[in-house]
Structure 1
């Protein structure tokens, strides 16, 4: 399913006790740099080329902004959305961060949103010395790699492996390319949308977004896999994320999205 919270919360979950124990192959992630949205999860992220003096970015899903059109792209739209900043192994609340705009959001080919904040990375660290942003990976994730899905909404961490990659993942009107399929241990739930997927180096390699809930074929909450030759596969109970390694190429000076930069493949 598109894993934002749409209705009643899963009140029976105990957020602290539900964190999964990390696999031996994965460096244990914590909640430093993680944020909670009103309906989703997210993280404060930093492209490798960004400066501490640049305005900070929060990454979440495009569908956490709204259920967007199949070809819709949002750029530089004013926003005052707030985020609860977390830290440490116990998801301690540090304070509130505020956006000035949606720098970029889409559900076309991928499912991602970036909010620009009203403070730089350095200013956030000055307020909260425990803070550090998560660094965006610039390399394709690896099949079999140990990963962790870190949800700020639930204050819970899922641990599993990259099971494989999907040529096209189709859900209702949306199509996402080269998606990451998890092994079954990452049984993510509503509210985990936008959670960063962190590899053993601690870098963000993908962004959690959906899973097949009922075994239906290519419908809302039931994405299907489409191979390069058009074969459709349905995997009930299996969940997915979207790669982010290509996104840093679209972010220029001052952490501004510049879609004409060499190597930028994000939809315009």
Structure 2
């Protein structure tokens, strides 16, 4: 996992380097050439900045809405399941409607924190099949828009496409990484956890600790298509901080220095009127308690 930050000195040094280069680090040799191949898709159609992203105490996140969300609905914040203050969830563990007062720093376009948002509950969280946490806030989208002029990022309801130009926007580090979707992973295994149909980045999205939970934004639409969550740091095979890819035939591939995200298009199928999670809805495939 792109581990939650707990004062790691090495991660801080890496982040400073990333900020200095706007997140466009040199590609590891193991992925050389993939960014060049994706270049024709790299032209941005919309401006992607920090507006609508949030910083957590240990991770990144975003203020989100779904196509069916109303302006009067309580707003939602999306981050990783492994970013919970209580620690990692066990495989198979799912949390729904848990009381929470967690706070989030809301960023404007330039990356300045303009407000502290507060949760009323953890609406949903799991590290099984995917790696997400969704918090419900004590303010509506309309109230946040009226007070701070910031709109929520919309979560796309469709599967992303290989070669799509993306930006990974970290509210924690106030850094934006630019790359493309290199492909999709049948199963991504890391330690005890397994995630399905994960997004693999091309090499210039060289994300680090603290970028966990960052929204992955399609630069053509401005919509969230995934959530940043892990990367292979040392070339290890299927171990903590060294996820491996497993294809449909069981073949294992290790890509040192390559980072990954979990798709988000299926979340909206589990959300009903009032931004309430209902895991019994037709088409909802999120893991259930």
Runs of 5+ consecutive residues of structure 1 not aligned to the other structure: none
Q: 1:16: how far off?
A: 5.5
- Paired residue for 2:100, among 74, 79, 87? 79
Distance, in Å, in 2 between the alignment partners of 1:16 and 1:53 is: 36
1:4 matched residue in structure 2: 4
Q: Does 1:161 align with 2:164?
A: no
Structure 1 residues 148, 70: CA separation in 2 closer, same or farther (over 3 Å shift)? same
Q: Does 1:211 align with 2:231?
A: yes
Indicate if the aligned counterparts of 1:15 and 1:154 stay in contact, CA closer than 8 A.
no
Runs of 5+ consecutive residues of structure 2 not aligned to the other structure: 25-38
Q: 1:24: how far off?
A: 4.5
Q: 1:3: how far off?
A: 3.4
Aligned residues between the structures = 266
1:140 matched residue in structure 2: 159
Indicate if the aligned counterparts of 1:18 and 1:156 stay in contact, CA closer than 8 A.
no
- Paired residue for 1:25, among 43, 60, 64? 43
Structure 1 residues 132, 8: CA separation in 2 closer, same or farther (over 3 Å shift)? same
CA RMSD of aligned residues (A): 1.6
TM-score (norm 1): 0.96
Q: Does 1:102 align with 2:122?
A: yes
Q: Could you list the per-position Cα deviations for residues 220-240 of structure 1 after superposition, in whole angstroms to 9, with x for gaps in the alignment?
A: 000000000000000000000
Structure 1 residues 50, 144: CA separation in 2 closer, same or farther (over 3 Å shift)? same
Distance, in Å, in 1 between the alignment partners of 2:43 and 2:57 is: 32
Distance, in Å, in 2 between the alignment partners of 1:102 and 1:153 is: 20
1:38 matched residue in structure 2: 57
- Paired residue for 1:256, among 255, 258, 276? 276
Q: Could you list the per-position Cα deviations for residues 109-159 of structure 1 after superposition, in whole angstroms to 9, with x for gaps in the alignment?
A: 000000000000011112112x01000000101001100000000000000
Moved runs in structure 1, 4+ residues, more than 3 A? 9-12, 14-18, 20-24
Q: Could you list the per-position Cα deviations for residues 159-186 of structure 1 after superposition, in whole angstroms to 9, with x for gaps in the alignment?
A: 0000000000000000000000000000
Indicate if the aligned counterparts of 2:74 and 2:136 stay in contact, CA closer than 8 A.
yes
Q: Does 1:224 align with 2:249?
A: no
Q: Could you list the per-position Cα deviations for residues 51-98 of structure 1 after superposition, in whole angstroms to 9, with x for gaps in the alignment?
A: 00000000000000121101100000000000000011x202111000
Secondary structure of the equivalent of 1:125? Answer: helix
Secondary structure of the equivalent of 1:205? Answer: strand
